[in-house]
Amino acid sequence: MGLLDYYRQFDDLTEEEVNRGLRERRATEKALALEQVSVCDLSRTEWPDFPDAEVMNASIFAARRGVNGYPDRHASPARAMLADRHDVEPERIVIGNGATELLQAASFHLLDSGDELVTPWPSYPLYPLMAQRAGGRPVAVDLAGGAVDPDAVLEAVGDRTRVVVLCNPNDPTGTYLESSTLERVLSELPERVHLLLDEAYAQFQDREPVDAALRLTDRFPRLLVLRTFSKAYGLSGLRAGYAVGSAEAATLLESIAPVLGINALTQAALVHALRIGDPEIERRGRLVREQRARVFRAFHDLPVDAPQSQANFAWVRAAGLSGAEVAARLERASVLVAPGGPLGDEDHVRVAIRGPAATERLLSALRDAFGRA
């Protein structure tokens, strides 16, 4: 190495050379990305996009203001906004760490050892576990044609039944019970039985006003309606949900509330989401309803069937194939769906419904899976 060569090796790259290298690397990455088919995960039902940046900023802002003190135990600002929205007194609402936690707390409160919790099946898999954890016994009621059969539910109610849990729209089938049907069920339930109505996917239904079933709490003291911020709001990681009951259900509501409330970061996010989120939630609901109609229209031309869904998913069955086989065929096209086995029926898969691009991928994968052009 010559004398000058020795010093030249300490010459750094110019900005233009660095940028050229970065541009070349990015071009290579893009080319590779275009060659790959990204995985389209339709196995989960929470909203797939990141939460609104402003909502998360509100949470971060709260974190910076200090979390050394305890949060507001009742989450009063968020509770007041929810009360205003649902036209009920704030005392009729409790906010918890997700609707499931509130359901579990209600089970602990309502069930004694050996008491029964009646729930349609397939439904949200945690309902039977809730009963078992509370020392009770789950009683499964078969669906009729994929839909919840209210008469069968009422027939299953026995002397030891203390709780009926309905998911409406039902996860994983997506079927919906209208409020008039629920009113009949409530009227016929014995005095000792509470109805816990899980409306996790209520924003996606278009059969009736979103608060139609919630209004029943004005007249039925043993009805508790649960909503979540995990699905349409896409805030699963913050763990937030709430229960609405009648004024007479104050004791039950107080007993299922988290002892020291929900954390301050979640409270801040909820307040901001409730303040600015309505147009986006409406947009998401509209998007799902449009795509759901498109998916179900396409099902007519495919060898699959599904009960009419009012949620952001479809409960799909293909004749002659198990759910696991359907899921495996779709996975070959990099579309992931939830096999029905863990959800209660081996013959089905649960397919989330999202935006137009996801619908395109799903329908294309289904056509490929069943050899349709």
CB of 229 to another protein, least distance (A): 17
CB of 83 to another protein, least distance (A): 21
13 binds another protein (CB under 8 A): yes
Tell me how far, at minimum, the Cβ of 77 lies from another protein, in Å. Answer: 11
**Contact residue for another protein among 12, 16, 35, 191 (CB under 8 A):** 12
* Residues of this chain, 97-136, that bind another protein according to CB under 8 A: none
CB of 329 to another protein, least distance (A): 44
Binders in 25-84 for another protein, by CB under 8 A: 53-55, 57-58, 60-61, 63-64
Size of the site for another protein (CB under 8 A): 21
Question: Do the Cβ atoms of 107 and 299 come closer than 8 Å?
Answer: no
The Cα–Cα gap between 85 and 81 comes to 6
10 binds another protein (CB under 8 A): yes
**b/e map of 165-198 (b: 16 or more CB within 10 Å)?**
bbbbbbbbbbbbbebeebbebbeebeeebbbbbb
Which residue number, 64 or 300, has a Cβ lying nearer to another protein? Answer: 64
Distances (CA, A) of 203 to 21, 75, 223, 351: 48, 23, 20, 18
Strands annotated E in 122-254: 137-142, 161-167, 194-198, 223-228, 241-244
- One symbol per residue from 259 to 298: x for binding another protein (CB under 8 A), - otherwise; what is it? ---------x---x--------------------------
Question: CA–CA separation, 55 vs 278, rounded Å?
Answer: 13
- Least Cα distance to 203 among 183, 228, 179, 225 occurs for 228
Please say which residue, 57 or 180, places its beta carbon nearer to another protein. 57
Q: Whose Cβ is closer to another protein: residue 247's or residue 276's?
A: 276
- Interface of this chain with another protein, residues 195 to 254, rule: CB under 8 A: none
Residue placing its CB nearer to another protein in the complex, 59 or 322: 59
Q: How far is the CB of 279 from another protein (least distance, A)?
A: 17
According to the binding rule CB under 8 A, does residue 300 interact with another protein?
no
For helices 278-299 and 264-276, what crossing angle results, to 10°?
A: 80
Which residue, among 216, 102, 224, has the nearest Cα to 163 in the 3D structure? 224
For residue 156, the tally of other CB atoms under 10 A from its CB is 18
Asked whether the beta carbons of 197 and 213 are under 8 A apart, the reply is: yes
In the complex with another protein, which residue's Cβ is closer, 195 or 269? 269
List, in sequence order, every residue forming a beta bridge with 95; answer none if it has no partner.
242
Cis, peptide link before residue 122, omega less than 30° from 0? yes
Residue 78 C-beta: closest distance to another protein, Å: 13
The least distance separating another protein from the CB of residue 9, rounded to whole angstroms, comes to 4
Footprint on this chain of another protein (rule: CB under 8 A):
1, 6-13, 18, 53-55, 57-58, 60-61, 63-64, 268, 272
